[in-house]
Structure 1
Amino acid sequence: MSELLFRTDAYLRLCTATVTAVDEQGLQFDRTVFYPNGGGQPGDSGQLLRQDGSTVVISNTVKGATADAVLHLPAEGSSLPQVGEEVTLVLDWDRRYAHMRYHTALHLLCKVVAAPVTGGQVAADKARLDFAVEMDALDKEAIEAGLNALVAAAQPVTARWVDEAELDANPELVKTMSVSPPRGTGTVRLIEVTGTDLQPCGGTHVHNTAEVGRLVVQKIRSEGKQNKRIIIAFAS
């Protein structure tokens, strides 16, 4: 098990940690700022700094066998640390922050397009959501204007934990048809964009919609009879 520091403070860029496991699956630590791939958000990359001055590149981060297990994948050929060694984990912050801005933007897109979400993906240069909706119900200019109005509203983005029973009593909070919120611990994390969106989400987000920045709708395309994909990006 690892203390997942990104759950309480997504803005932490580094942390000291103790190595708890080293094997072919990856490196594990007693605490980490690295988000593992999941929920449409890519795993973090960055560096591991050792006390002897050497550096190990972390190329990706994925989930382990349990809810609190995080596997940090070193670049091929790296000289690996030993169990019990104290190291410093440093994020590729520019990449992570782009993920945070885009993940928050997708919550805004859920508000602008009032339809069930069938899938989604965040990257460092764009993001997309798929909706169960007819193509003629989607207007590119209107969606873009709606997104940027929510960005300009500068609404706070906050997280809180609720009992699984509360989520069961309010199934409308789950807006993604293809991905269920993680369960088994007794509580579920909700992300709220004040006055705009409330839904379970385990990803990382910015503190205020103003941080997202101006957005453009790059493309709207069909991915099936009632599955339409909206791709957004930061305005240049």
Structure 2
Amino acid sequence: MSASYPRPYAVDHPHQHALEGHALDARPGAVLLARSPFYPGGGGQLADRGTLTWNGIVRDVVGFEHSLDGLWHLIAGDMAPAGLIHLQIATSFRQLMCEQHTVAHLVNSAVYRLFDGALLTGVRMTDGTEFSVDFDLTKLSPEQLRAVEDAVNAAIADDRPVRAFDMNYDDAQAKDGLFRAKSVAPPRQPNGLIRIVDIDGLDQQACGGTHLASTGQARRIRILKVDNKGRQNRRFRIGLTD
């Protein structure tokens, strides 16, 4: 049975891009911190980029390790951080991840509604203006693709608030539509709860990533292409427009 780790601080504070704190533990090339503005990645979302600074020394964060006590930050080089540590994420990259993740929810919502509950099979966010979302679908018509694109852009234009709340994991599983992935789902938290992301009046689903504060902060999208990735898997290639 896999360990159930506390969820990252960044999930509940996506707009906090810097923090200071003392190490809980350290070793060459790594430091354990109780709180961190860094999102360590997961669910198709890329890990945050940024730096740690202590005693005038600055090092890039190159990876993460989960722990029941907190999050280990792996840094370039073999120094062991000590004293007061300043953590700073790359703000523009976090904004891009929040935008792509929020748009992915909008695409998911439109596909789920227009294709009789079609489930998500994968998300691949990137460091550019294009990313992909996969669904358990067999075929699509040009008219159906336009309907998905129009629904997403309408939700962006509506500027709907995006919020999150916790609910009992078993209650969430019993409610239709909160778990949208075909084979994976956000894990049960140590307290028996699951985080639900709510796009006001439009969509609710279990999710452990970071998001925009409202849909209007996202750019309009175009569905650039749909690839066949198996007999019953279609990859939507999404482009964020200027």
TM-score, normalisation: structure 1: 0.89
**2:195 aligned with 1:189, yes or no?**
yes
**2:76 aligned with 1:92, yes or no?**
no
Q: Which residue identity does 1:119 align to in structure 2?
A: G
Q: Is the 8 A contact 2:32 2:70 kept in 1?
A: yes
Q: Is the 8 A contact 1:57 1:78 kept in 2?
A: no
Gaps of 5+ in 2: 113-117
In structure 2, the partner of 1:222 is 228
Call closer, same or farther: CA 1:135–1:25 in 2, change over 3 Å. Answer: farther
Gaps of 5+ in 1: none
**2:74 aligned with 1:73, yes or no?**
yes
Call closer, same or farther: CA 1:141–1:36 in 2, change over 3 Å. Answer: same
Q: Is the 8 A contact 1:3 1:32 kept in 2?
A: no
Q: Which residue identity does 2:185 align to in structure 1?
A: S
Q: Which residue identity does 1:27 align to in structure 2?
A: V
In structure 2, the partner of 1:111 is 109
Matches within 5 A, 1:143-222: 143-185=148-190, 186-222=192-228
Q: CA deviation at 1:184?
A: 4.4
Q: Is the 8 A contact 1:48 1:55 kept in 2?
A: yes
Q: Is the 8 A contact 1:18 1:31 kept in 2?
A: no
Distance 1:123 1:182 in 2: 23
Call closer, same or farther: CA 1:128–1:203 in 2, change over 3 Å. Answer: same
Q: Is the 8 A contact 2:186 2:194 kept in 1?
A: yes
The total of aligned residue pairs comes to 230
Distance 2:154 2:119 in 1: 22
Q: Is the 8 A contact 1:167 1:173 kept in 2?
A: yes
Call closer, same or farther: CA 1:168–1:140 in 2, change over 3 Å. Answer: closer
Identify the match of residue 66 of structure 2 among 64, 67, 71. 64
**2:58 aligned with 1:55, yes or no?**
yes
TM-score, normalisation: structure 2: 0.87
Q: CA deviation at 1:171?
A: 4.7
Distance 1:38 1:25 in 2: 22
Deviations 1:48-107 (A, max 9, x none): 111x222111123x34144x63232212x253313xx21110001111110000000011
Q: Is the 8 A contact 1:56 1:79 kept in 2?
A: no
Distance 1:43 1:25 in 2: 18
